[in-house]
Amino acid sequence: MTVFGFHASHEQIHPAKLLAAVIHAERAGFDAAMSSDHFSPWSARQGQSGFAWSWLGAALQATNLPFGVVNAPGQRYHPAIIAQAIGTLGAMYPGRFWAALGTGEASNEHITGDGWPRKDVRNARLRECVDVIRALLAGEEVSHDGLVRVDRAKLWTRPERPPALIGAAVSVATARWCAEWADGLITVNAPADHLRQMIDAYRDAGGRGPLHLQAHVSWAPDQAEAEAIAYDQWRSNVFAPPVCWDLEMTEHFDAVSADVPLEKVASTVHVSADLGRHVGWLEEYLALGFDQIALHHVGQEQRAFIDTFGAEVLPKLRTPA
């Protein structure tokens, strides 16, 4: 049966409020949670960006939910540090933690002052990071000289079983590439045909493990309110790669999204006051075979969404047709 999770969006919500929200989501019937990992928000209107790894320890302690995080090792984070973070959470909360690894966005990584590499270089850097992280989680001492450098690193605290390393992808080509190294695949909502091509590419290339989806939704009791929430909070997030990968500052995203029409936002976020429509959208993803779907209500206030979806949407999705 598909697991339905709550997405914790650090870019939009103060970490204390986000912790209260994920505790409430567990009580409301959500099965799991996942977390973003940003240094800055996508828009000044979002206005937050807490440190995910501090928060994850608190959230795992405060709930019984399994958690994942989407991380980009290689520039802002040294892979040995990410291996240590994964290993510590895995040791403290066995079987409850996974990490999705991707190539990242300049909006988070530019803070190091290093240049932002081409996508092919970022892919190669990520592949090196994955190998370093896996070797460290396996207990090896690692030295490596390449796009990332490691000198005689060893993890002294490790879980008995290494947490899954999931591949993050938004294109068919990247999904196929992730099959070489990942323990599963994660992507975001997109047209069903595109998602089916990604899944087929991943599986046909030998990709193993679960399929994860992050689904952006905007719900309110009133349609105009649902639209206003999505437009205010998510219109800076409608741009396809490479734009979303390469812009550096919140003011850049706010400038390019100043005249984005609502229809463009609605092509990225499922916007509706009608819970039946949300059920229908999510049923399409169920039919594609996703093992976990994390729901991201793009508003900053989460409680009404959690209560309503927990009571009226998730039960319908869990009931066989």
CA 297 from centre of chain: 13
Of 98, 123, 121, 235, the closest CA to residue 174 belongs to: 123
How many other β-carbons are positioned within 10 Å of the β-carbon of residue 287? 10
CA–CA gap between residue 306 and residue 188 (Å, rounded): 20
CA–CA gap between residue 301 and residue 265 (Å, rounded): 19
Q: How long, in residues, is the chain?
A: 321
Give CA angle at 235 (296, 223), nearest 5°.
70
The SS3 assignment for 215 reads strand
CA–CA gap between residue 250 and residue 42 (Å, rounded): 5
Give, for 187, the enclosing helix (H) or strand (E).
strand 185-188
User: Which is the catalytic residue, given 38, 270, 278, 297?
Assistant: 38
The SS3 assignment for 4 reads strand
* Token pair in block for residue 221: 């009791």
User: Which is the catalytic residue, given 10, 11, 26, 105?
Assistant: 105
CA–CA gap between residue 84 and residue 215 (Å, rounded): 29
Of 321, 320, 316, 290, the closest CA to residue 29 belongs to: 316
CB 73 within 8 A of CB 126: yes
Which DSSP state fits 158? -
CA–CA gap between residue 277 and residue 239 (Å, rounded): 24
Buried b (16+ CB within 10 A) or exposed e, 105-132: bbbbbbeeeeebbeeeebebbbbbbbbb
Q: Is 105 a catalytic residue?
A: yes
Question: So which residues are the catalytic ones?
Answer: 38, 105
